A and B are shown apart, each in its own frame.
Chain A
Amino acid sequence: MIIATPRAAFSRALCIALALGFNAAAHAAEVVVTIDNFVFNPPAVTIKPGDTVTWRNADDIPHSIVSTTPGAFRSKALDTDDKFSFTFTTSGAFEYFCGLHPHMKAMITVAP
């Protein structure tokens, strides 16, 4: 039997608050885009404002992530298994390409 002392009640309330807090943070999703055989996969991703996209290079050749929107986002060259993350805070359609192999193009759509 659990005895609800004031101290235990406070602990339980704190736990619930923390859990709620974590839930709120977890609402911002992380989406992974893998670069494989000179292709961004998936090539089109739709996310909500506040979500984060993480790119991972699975190729034996470096790639980079360059937004066609000036200044929006740009990674350094990613060697094999290197990652780059960007959190999208504003809505819009963000086309990007590989700065080394510009025929590689893909899109991130941010919509509430």
Chain B
Amino acid sequence: MTDEQNKRGLDRRGALECMAWAGTGLLWTVAGGVPKVSRVLGSTAASAQTSGFTFAQISDSHIGFDKPANPNPASTLEEAIGKVVSAKDKPAFMIHTGDITHLSKPKEFDDAARIIGASKLDVHYVPGEHDVIDEDNGKAYMERYGKNAKGKGWYAFDHQGVHFVGLVNVFDLKAGGMGNLGAEQLAWLEDDLKARTASTPVVVFAHIPLWTVYGEWGWGTDDGVRALDLLKRFGSVTILNGHIHQIFQKVEGNVAFHTARSTAFPQGEPGKAPSAGPMLVPADKLRTVLGVASIVVKQGTQALAITDTPLA
């Protein structure tokens, strides 16, 4: 990218796009609202330096899954937590972008909480569709993680000048549709963002991608574009999702989109695999397609750098 393009960052839209499917790690540096790939993972990782902080993202742990694609997702979640704990820049906190459990069973929630709790970090959760399939339509999740949240589990918090918003797009799904935020949540989001200045870096996280990754598999959010409209005036927006069990990255204007790997099992590449189901890979390759993400925020520069680290 040229300096000229960098200067035009605020009105430049959609010129830079990068996707990396499962198996590789890329480090993204976001400067002045225009992220760029700075190096492939494996060389020197980004550092939070003195005035920033790091947070970790894990996703799709699917505790309770026991099929051939990974008969023991508890052990791979433990390894993922190990990666987070041993990171050079200790994360300030962790976010979990949903599908904590496979079937919303109490024991699955208990096991996940025990394993993730070993990190001793504050964890900010949003539910995946697998976390709200108990017979009481999400009661099990809400009793554990939704008590201090609004509506069906959405909330916001601030950390060192960065505004974090956890959105919920797995309730009230409509026939033929994709993820769903709903009018009540969008009204709350509009109100929540109203009080923030455009220079506030915003990080939004939700389970299903907020933009359409692949409509035929429902990999998107029907009213996600309305949330993105509300975020347009901000100079630095980072959207972190899960659900698709592989890395997908896209930059559009000032918005950087990123999906995380699962800690449990990979899913196929859109349009190439027969369905969106678990993808069986050789056992010795499984850990190369699972992983965690680490996000570095450097104060003053509005720079966020996302590093995806595989388990092996």
Contact count A vs B, C-beta below 8 Å: 61
Are A76 and B177 in touch, CB under 8 angstroms?
Answer: no
Question: From residue 3 to 60 of chain A, which have CB atoms closer than 8 A to chain B?
Answer: 37-39, 59-60
Are B178 and A102 in touch, CB under 8 angstroms?
Answer: yes
Are A103 and B69 in touch, CB under 8 angstroms?
Answer: no
Are B103 and A77 in touch, CB under 8 angstroms?
Answer: yes
Interface 1/0 per residue, B167-185 and A, CB below 8 Å: 0000001111110000000
Are B103 and A102 in touch, CB under 8 angstroms?
Answer: no
Are A103 and B130 in touch, CB under 8 angstroms?
Answer: no
Alpha-carbon separation in the docked complex, A79 to B104 (Å): 12
Kindly identify which residue among A60, A64, A97, A101 contacts B67, using a CB–CB cutoff of 8 Å. Answer: A60
Alpha-carbon separation in the docked complex, A97 to B276 (Å): 16
Alpha-carbon separation in the docked complex, A102 to B169 (Å): 13
Tell whether B151 is near chain A: CB-to-CB under 8 Å: no
Interface 1/0 per residue, B42-71 and A, CB below 8 Å: 000000000000000000000000011100
| Residues in B neighbouring A95, C-beta threshold 8 A | 175
Question: Which of A38, A60, A66, A103 is most buried by chain B, counting CB atoms within 10 A of its CB?
Answer: A103
Are B103 and A79 in touch, CB under 8 angstroms?
Answer: yes
Number of interface residues of B (CB under 8 A): 25
Alpha-carbon separation in the docked complex, A39 to B130 (Å): 18
Tell whether A93 is near chain B: CB-to-CB under 8 Å: no
Are B67 and A80 in touch, CB under 8 angstroms?
Answer: yes
Are B175 and A60 in touch, CB under 8 angstroms?
Answer: no
Give, as a whole number of angstroms, the nearest-CB distance from B103 to chain A: 6
Are A59 and B176 in touch, CB under 8 angstroms?
Answer: no
Tell whether B199 is near chain A: CB-to-CB under 8 Å: no
Are B218 and A101 in touch, CB under 8 angstroms?
Answer: yes
| Residues in A neighbouring B190, C-beta threshold 8 A | none
Give, as a whole number of angstroms, the nearest-CB distance from B222 to chain A: 9
Alpha-carbon separation in the docked complex, A38 to B68 (Å): 18
| Residues in A neighbouring B216, C-beta threshold 8 A | 103
Tell whether B188 is near chain A: CB-to-CB under 8 Å: no
Pick 15 A–B contacts, CB within 8 A, sort by A: A59-B275, A59-B277, A60-B68, A60-B277, A60-B278, A62-B103, A66-B175, A76-B135, A95-B175, A96-B175, A97-B175, A99-B173, A101-B129, A101-B217, A103-B217
Known: A62-B130, A101-B276, A103-B178. 17 other contacts (CB 8 A): A37-B274, A59-B277, A60-B69, A61-B278, A76-B135, A79-B103, A80-B67, A95-B175, A99-B133, A99-B173, A101-B218, A102-B173, A102-B174, A102-B178, A102-B218, A103-B218, A105-B176
> Which residues in B have some Cβ–Cβ distance to A below 8 Å?
67-69, 102-104, 129-130, 133, 135, 173-178, 215-218, 274-278
